[in-house]
Structure 1
Amino acid sequence: MPFDALDARILRLLLDQPRTSVRGYARILGVARGTLQARLERLERDGVITVAGPRVSPAALGHPVLAFVRIEVARGHLDEVGGALADVPEIVEAFSVAGSGGDLLTRVVARDNAHLESVIQRLGRLPGVVRIRTEIALSERVAYRVLPLVEALAVEAGAESRAAAGAETGAEPGRPEAR
């Protein structure tokens, strides 16, 4: 999927002002509504934009304890255990991982430490679970974000488009065109 400066501007705007209408975005960006709509549809189709909706805080819902639970699974049971994780409401994310820390990495929320312990015990009873290691998060240092990545990609896209424009005019990249 080609990613250009307009895509970067669209993503930056979506991240900065998530509640603006498509018409409002088009006006701010100075593009036709149809152009913006086509770009948004392509970004969704290509999987760049993956979620539409509010980000809900488990802490505000009474689950302030956050833990990362690594689960080691017996050979041949990864799909079974991975599927069972979806039945545990306190698991807000789960990933298959490679490395020395286990086979699954989950993000678990709980009301308090006793509740966390009961969730961990429930996980330990799943058929195929060999070992569990838990790390409790003390504080969030960097909240989930993608804007810095979008900004870096925008710089790259801008540099590539300037280089392409220079190639079309015969100018050397990084040097102004002779007049």
Structure 2
Amino acid sequence: MWNEVPGLAAQQAVAIDPLDLRILGALAEQPDTTVRDLAQTLGIPASTCAFRLRSLRARGVLLDARLRVDPTALGYPVQAVIRVRLGNHSKSGVDALFDALAATPGVLQVFHIAGADDFLVHVAVTDAASLRDIVLEHITVHDVVRATETQLVFELREGPGVLPSARLRD
């Protein structure tokens, strides 16, 4: 994976031109739009739009398209962030824990971070007992884990991201 080599991401910085930014911005605002509609919105030929989208994917700029689902609507109304602190930091132990956390049912995101804590685990569960079970059955069972701290999420709001707003692009 590219992230296994320190500094490689910076070395492989991908040139993004103004049209690429317009395409990405329009996709961010309407991710389910068709290539034809996207091209029409941007005032470019559909063939150019399709080529640019393929290029953005091939260069690793456009990673994927994801379906976002409200966990509450599916019966998982309790969200939390679990802070995980490790007792030792062997590469194999960290990698094994990271993989196990990311594969745990109910886990939405896992962040490997710097600072006092080593991981942040964002989860959605049915109730407090299920939250406890994730901590006791999926996190603290790993030998490298020294401590956890669980924080309930009252509300989540998305930020604007890294793309310039439509007002700034035009």
TM-score normalized by structure 2? 0.79
Matched positions, count: 153
Q: SS state of the match for residue 52, structure 1?
A: coil
RMSD over aligned Cα atoms: 2.2
- Asked if the contact 1:4–1:154 (Cα under 8 Å) also holds between the matched residues in 2, the reply is no
Contact 1:78 1:103 in 2 (8 A): no
C-alpha offsets along residues 35-73 of structure 1, whole Å, 9 cap, x if unaligned?
111211122223322221321222211111111111112
Identity of aligned residues (%): 31
Contact 1:73 1:81 in 2 (8 A): no
Are residues 1:72 and 2:85 paired?
yes
CA contact under 8 A between 1:65 and 1:111: conserved in structure 2? yes
- 1:92 and 2:108 matched: yes
Q: Partner of 2:50 in structure 1?
A: 37
- Structure 1 CA distance for aligned equivalents of residues 142 and 99 of structure 2: 11
- Is the CA contact 1:64–1:111 (under 8 Å) kept in the aligned structure 2? yes
Shift of the alpha carbon at 1:131? 0.6
Aligned amino acid, residue 63 of structure 1: Y
Deviations 1:12-53 (A, max 9, x none): 211222222111211221211221112111222233222213
What's the secondary structure of 2:149's corresponding residue?
Answer: strand
Choose which of 11, 21, 28 in structure 1 pairs with 2:41.
28
For residue 116 of structure 1, what is the aligned residue in structure 2?
A: 131
Q: Which amino acid in 2 is paired with 1:112?
A: D
Which stretches in structure 2 are left out of the alignment for 5+ residues? 1-13
The structure 2 residue matched to 1:8, chosen from 2, 21, 41, is: 21
Amino acid in the other structure paired with 2:113:
V
One-letter amino acid of the counterpart of residue 103, structure 1: D
1:55 paired residue number:
68
Picking from 89, 97, 100, the partner of 1:81 is: 97
The equivalences for 1:126-165 within 5 A come to 126-140=142-156, 142-146=157-161, 149-151=162-164, 155=168
Task: Say which SS state the counterpart of residue 59 (structure 1) adopts.
Answer: helix
Q: CA deviation at 1:136?
A: 0.8
C-alpha distance in structure 2 between counterparts of 1:58 and 1:152, whole Å: 28
Structure possessing the higher radius of gyration over alpha carbons: 1
SS in 2 for 1:24: helix
Look up the match of 1:175.
none
Taking structure 1 as the reference length, the TM-score comes to 0.76
Structure 1, gaps ≥5 residues long: 159-179
